């Protein structure tokens, strides 16, 4: 039978499908199957973009004030019970993607495989690949528990390719009765304004870590980023410390970035961080500890005090 029917859950952010979602759509199409896309919320707003990347049908779950995870999973389960079971459901490794797949996993009695960067279907056998130990080791895992297989993928795993398709047909799906599991309700939505290029789309990323010493010194990262038209980023350490918002975080639990140039300032290179940036084409690292793991992957490593190096670098770039 092979992969005849694939579902892709598309994450929507700032009114558009994320590039990670378009990657999955592209990959699903290449597997030669019928591909349907599920979204939480307004399908009409994203039908154009999803159609451009090859989706012919979008199931848009009208979830009201519910959290998307439980609502979309319940709608998917109802569709499966109605005889439309997919062979494979692909999710981006996003907040909503993880929630939908987790709830669906229990509803259909199938496990999940997450953090994948590759998928290969060979007849009915589906194998996904996950990097572990900061990407040093690749583990290939084959689903054995029967379909539908549930797999989540890290951003930047595949290259999104437009097929210049026309807008997808939107099928609005109502949420079945969630009972007590639907008791969580969203009462207000806050969008954090960001200026400059987006972290996961920027050509250059300048990130700061604990080596900055104090919160106020993050200004140096922002100044340098502005001069280079780069996006400012951060290690988990300074996000946890509250110096910058979570949306700045690069790493396993933050954003995965693959810019042309990544400049790591005062970041030692914990596995958690390296996973999120080692795919960058060029890496520059500034750190005072010459044993820091970041130097093991840097194309240009500066062993020194960033409080001396960065002001001079900023001044040199300003004077150009």
Partner 1 sequence: MNVIVCVKQIPDPANLGALDPSSNTLKREGKLILDESDSYGVEMALQLVATAGGGEVSLVSMAPNSETSGLRTALAMGAAKAVLVSDPALLGSDALTTAKILAAAVTRLGGADLIIAATESSDGYTGTVPEQMAEVLGLPSVTFAKKVSVEGGVLKVDRQTEDGYDEVTCPLPALISVTAGVVEPRYPSFKGIMAAKSKPVDEVTAADLGVTPVGWAGAGQKVSSVTQAEARAAGEVIEDDGEAFAKIVTFLEGLKVI
**Nearer to partner 1 by C-beta: 31 or 310?**
310
**Nearer to partner 1 by C-beta: 84 or 253?**
253
Q: Please, are residues 259 and 244 in contact by the beta-carbon 8 Å criterion?
A: no
Q: Choose the stretch contacting partner 1; rule: CB under 8 A; options: 53-61, 145-153, 157-165, 209-217.
A: 145-153
Burial, 60: exposed, middle or buried (Cβ in 10 Å; 0-12, 13-18, 19+)? buried
Q: Please, are residues 256 and 200 in contact by the beta-carbon 8 Å criterion?
A: yes
**Nearer to partner 1 by C-beta: 28 or 283?**
283
Q: Please, are residues 64 and 185 in contact by the beta-carbon 8 Å criterion?
A: no
- Contact pick of 44, 159, 163, 186 for partner 1 (by CB under 8 A): 186
What DSSP character marks residue 179?
A: G
Kindly state the number of chain residues that form the binding site for partner 1, as judged by CB under 8 A: 99
Interface mask toward partner 1 for 287-306; x: CB under 8 A = ---x----xxxxxxxxxxx-
Cα torsion through 158, 284, 210, 225, rounded to 10: -80
188 contributes a contact to partner 1 by CB under 8 A: yes
164 contributes a contact to partner 1 by CB under 8 A: no
181 contributes a contact to partner 1 by CB under 8 A: yes
HEC string for 58-123: EEEEECCCCCHHHHHHHHHHHHHHHHHCCCEEEEECCHHHHHHHHHHHHHHCCCEEEEECEEEEEC
- Contact pick of 84, 166, 215, 260 for partner 1 (by CB under 8 A): 260
Residue 131: partners with Cβ closer than 8 Å, 6 or more residues away: 115, 117, 137, 138, 139, 275
185 contributes a contact to partner 1 by CB under 8 A: yes
Q: Choose the stretch contacting partner 1; rule: CB under 8 A; options: 26-34, 168-176, 209-217, 308-316.
A: 308-316
Least separation in angstroms between residue 121's CB and partner 1 is 13
- Binding to partner 1 (CB under 8 A) within 202-241 occurs at 203-204, 228, 236, 239-241
282 contributes a contact to partner 1 by CB under 8 A: yes
- Binding to partner 1 (CB under 8 A) within 28-47 occurs at none
Q: How many CB atoms lie within 10 A of CB 173?
A: 22
Least separation in angstroms between residue 267's CB and partner 1 is 15
Least separation in angstroms between residue 96's CB and partner 1 is 8
Residue 175: partners with Cβ closer than 8 Å, 6 or more residues away: 61, 62, 63, 64, 66, 71, 74, 75, 182
Whole-angstrom distance, CA of residue 37 vs CA of residue 128: 20
23 contributes a contact to partner 1 by CB under 8 A: no
For tokens 């670098």, the residue is 313
**Nearer to partner 1 by C-beta: 29 or 236?**
236
Least separation in angstroms between residue 35's CB and partner 1 is 22
Q: Please, are residues 132 and 120 in contact by the beta-carbon 8 Å criterion?
A: no
**Nearer to partner 1 by C-beta: 24 or 29?**
24
**Nearer to partner 1 by C-beta: 29 or 152?**
152
**Nearer to partner 1 by C-beta: 111 or 166?**
111
Question: How many angstroms separate the first and last alpha carbons of the chain?
Answer: 62
**Nearer to partner 1 by C-beta: 29 or 39?**
39
């Amino acid at each position: 039978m092979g992969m005849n029917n694939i579902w892709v859950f598309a994450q929507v952010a700032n009114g558009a499908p994320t590039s990670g979602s378009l990657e999955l759509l592209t990959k699903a199409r290449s597997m030669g199957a019928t591909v349907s896309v599920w979204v939480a919320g307004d399908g009409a707003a994203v039908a154009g973009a999803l159609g451009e990347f090859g989706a012919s049908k979008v199931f848009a779950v009208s979830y009201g004030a519910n959290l998307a995870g439980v609502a979309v999973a319940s709608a998917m389960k109802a569709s499966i019970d109605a005889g439309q079971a997919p062979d494979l459901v692909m999710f981006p490794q996003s907040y909503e993607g993880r929630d939908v797949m987790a709830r669906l996993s229990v509803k259909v009695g199938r496990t999940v495989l997450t953090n994948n960067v590759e998928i290969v279907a060979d007849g009915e056998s589906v194998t996904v690949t996950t990097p572990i130990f900061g990407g040093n080791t690749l583990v290939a895992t084959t689903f054995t528990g029967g379909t539908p297989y549930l797999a989540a993928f890290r951003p930047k795993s595949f290259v999104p390719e437009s097929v210049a398709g026309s807008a997808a047909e939107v099928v609005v799906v109502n949420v079945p009765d969630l009972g007590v599991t639907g008791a969580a309700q969203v009462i207000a939505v806050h969008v954090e304004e960001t200026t400059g290029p987006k972290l996961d789309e920027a050509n250059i990323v300048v990130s700061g870590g604990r080596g900055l010493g104090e919160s106020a010194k993050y200004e140096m990262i922002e100044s340098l980023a502005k001069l280079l038209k780069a996006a400012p980023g951060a290690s988990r350490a300074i996000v946890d410390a509250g110096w910058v918002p979570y949306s700045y975080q690069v790493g396993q639990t933050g954003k995965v970035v693959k810019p042309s140039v990544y400049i790591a300032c005062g970041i030692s290179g914990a596995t958690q961080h390296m996973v999120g940036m080692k795919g960058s084409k060029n890496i520059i690292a500034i750190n005072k500890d010459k044993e820091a793991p970041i130097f093991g992957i840097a194309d240009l490593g500066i062993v020194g005090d960033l409080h001396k190096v960065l002001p001079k670098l900023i001044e040199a770039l300003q004077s150009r």
